Amino acid sequence: MCIIWAIWKERNNRLFEGASFTEAELQDKIKLDAQLWIHAGARCLGCLKRE
């Protein structure tokens, strides 16, 4: 769900703001968002955490 949300936000950013991330930047943003959700207590994303 986190990945889909990030892609949707990127789509909206491209359409309405005329700006975009590169693929690598978008991947980094998705990883950062997932880490933030994990730290905020999202239990279902804990499997994404690298140990």
* Model pTM score: 0.69
Domain of 34? 2-10+21-48
- Listed as own residue / partner, the contacts of 25-29 with beta carbons closer than 8 Å and 24 or more positions apart are none
Q: Using one digit for the tens of pLDDT, what is the confidence trace for 8-18?
A: 999 999 999 99
Is 15 a domain residue?
Answer: no
Confidence at 46, pLDDT banded by 50, 70, 90:
low
Is 29 a domain residue?
Answer: yes
Identify the three-state secondary structure at position 48.
Answer: helix
Count: domains in the chain: 1
CB contact at 8 A, 34 and 45? yes
